[in-house]
Amino acid sequence: MPARPAVTEAELEAHLRGICFKTGPPRRIGVEIEWLVHDARNPRCPVAPARHREAAAALRALPLRSALTFEPGGQLELSSLPATSLTACIEAVSADLALVRPAVRELGLGMAGHGHNPWHPPRRVLTEPRYDAMEAYFDRWGHAGRSMMCGTASVQVCLDAGHEEPGPLGIGRRWRLAHLLGAVLVAAFANSPVSEGCPTGYRSTRQVVWSQMDPARTLAPPDGPDPRAAWADYVLDAPVMCVRSDDGPWDAPEGLTFRDWVRTGTPRPPTEEDLDYHVTTLFPPVRPRGHLELRMIDAQPGDGGWIVPLAVTAALFDDPEAAESAYRVVKPLAETAGSRPAPRNPLWRHATRGALTDPELRAAALACFTIAQEALPRLGAPAAVTDAVARFTERYVARGRCPADDLLDGAYAAEFATAGTAVTASPEPADGSPPEAAPPGGTARTAPIADGAYENQLTPGKDSL
């Protein structure tokens, strides 16, 4: 492990403020895309670890510009380099995918865009100290951590933090926009309604999984006028997941925050590198890493499904006119969100459960997608991209639907065909989130997610809000 002299709490706070919000005109954009790797002939057949290793070796030999990594459950991830335009980002990642997809097919495997594995329970195929420590840590909270690690996939959009000055491209505005628009993005791109073959009662089961985990590292920082101060406090007050070591397990004393670690110097004095690593173990919906990582979007179906969320998000953040218009649209959503942080506030819960069946979210999404379509030509987006956004808007947003609804339609049709029954949602939750609409006729059957509905899973004294 890196061995630098121990640092003070004040030095670490200054370090966090300096590296996590790098200000300036928004010029760069990036995307991180994950897929579930499955057997091409039968996705319900688990892929053996040896086949995952064979695929990893083959793909690492390709001349890719994007960074290629694998998640603990074998999910494949491509992380683009920072691009100077939306078009350049799409072109670079598309070129890499043109190499990756045939290589995967030659191995008898497929890449599926689902936010949550619809076929299998979580199963870890990577054994590394980081993942051993992560699994042990999240097991204290139930099974959601293993589902997150091994069974989820997303489209993460990375944007510059913005100007120091106020305005539509200022860091304060972009930070607040991200947390309000984030719920709209969850709803519009929800694509994970099934777990282990059964509908869960949520259109974004992936978001439910995140909401069941340690709130000290998965909730958003408190809202306030200074994102830097809020983030620095959030990081230092979050529990330490692991203390890295050259030998032995990467465990950490339970309940030890990074601030405690700095003040006590045990089990060893922390370094600046330890702080940087600690940040990588924090998973709020929006994570500042110099730029802003928007982490709330489910993986999307189709070879180019990832392009639409990337294009819509880029347009609403990086075009000044669109950013101002989008903020005016989503600002009233703060009243629904209330004082609780995302993703456990009512706004995000409505997005997770009902998605665009919620009238408020549907209206906001339609307005934002319309704004994005108007802005994309100003960002130099090619016609193919604007057309893809228009088709998505017409197929889903304008009709109050999301990709999850296509999967639910298929599940209901299969249920009717085989048993004459319908799969419906869990009962309406205590916070008033709208329940899933049950299909007409048949006998209802509820398929709960692991650990039950997250609004009923708060542990008194541990994650009460």
Q: What percent of the chain has pLDDT over 90?
A: 82
Can you tell me the distance from the alpha carbon of 73 to that of 152, in angstroms, rounded to the nearest whole number?
A: 9
Is pLDDT above 60 for 4? no
The string of pLDDT tens digits covering residues 355-376 is 999 999 999 999 999 999 999 9
Residue 447 has pLDDT above 70, yes or no: no
Q: What pLDDT is attached to residue 439?
A: 31
Question: Residues 299-324: what's their mean pLDDT?
Answer: 98
Task: Return d(Cα 29, Cα 32) in angstroms, integer.
Answer: 11
Q: What angle do CA 233, 220, 177 make, to 5 degrees?
A: 115
Query: Which helix (H) or strand (E) segment is 70 a member of?
Result: strand 67-70
- Which pLDDT score is estimated for 452? 38
DSSP 314-348: HHHHHSHHHHHHHHHHHTTHHHHHTTSPTTSSHHH
- Calculate the alpha carbon distances from 199 to 35, 237, 407, 426 in Å: 20, 37, 9, 10
CA-nearest of 35, 465, 38, 449 to 210 is 449
pLDDT for res 416: 59
Q: Residues with Cβ < 8 Å from 91, sequence gap 6 or more?
A: none
Residue 29 has pLDDT above 60, yes or no: yes
Could you tell me the end-to-end alpha-carbon distance of the chain, in angstroms, rounded to an integer?
A: 36
In the Cβ-directed half-sphere of 459, how many Cα atoms lie within 13 Å?
Answer: 12
How is residue 177 written in tokens? 């926009």
Min mean pLDDT across 155-169, 304-318, 382-396 is at 155-169
Q: Binning pLDDT at 50, 70 and 90, where does residue 437 land?
A: very low
Percent of the chain as helix, strand, coil, to the nearest 5: 45, 15, 40
Q: pLDDT per residue over 118-140, tens digit each?
A: 999 999 999 999 999 999 999 99
Residue partners of 464: CB distance under 8 A and separation at least 6: 458
Least confident range from 19-23, 116-120, 142-146: namely: 19-23
Radius of gyration (C-alpha) of the chain in whole angstroms: 21
Mean pLDDT of the chain: 89
pLDDT interval class at 55 (50, 70, 90): very high
18 pLDDT band, cuts 50/70/90, is: confident
